[in-house]
Amino acid sequence: MEKVLPKMAELGLNLHREEETVVFIAATDPDDACANAVLQICYDMRTEKGATYEANAMGIHKLSNNAQEFIRVVRLVAVSPYP
């Protein structure tokens, strides 16, 4: 995340602005979990409140498309579903 944080701040994105971000997703295996986590962060960038209506919306969409190359998953934690 540290590689995209400066651009996120420049574009006014406030969600997932920490170096360590927690994302809860459902997955069947670790590879699927990593891919879904990165996609969820990119989806959140595109759908953050006001991201589609601001003057810098094109920059936000470009960042979310390119961010997949710069975001990496460091740790996975399995959480059991609620009963």
pLDDT recorded at residue 45: 86
Per-residue confidence (pLDDT) for residue 54, from 0 to 100: 64
What does the pLDDT read at residue 51? 63
Average pLDDT, consecutive stretches of 10 residues, N- to C-terminus, the chain (83 residues): 84 84 87 91 83 73 86 84 64
What's the pLDDT score for residue 40? 92
Contact 63, 45 (CB under 8 A): yes
Residue 55 confidence (pLDDT): 72
Domain residue spans of the chain: 5-69
> How many other C-beta atoms lie within 10 A of the C-beta of residue 53?
7
pTM of the model: 0.80
User: Is residue 79 left, alpha or beta, with left meaning phi > 0 and alpha meaning psi from -120 to 50?
Assistant: beta
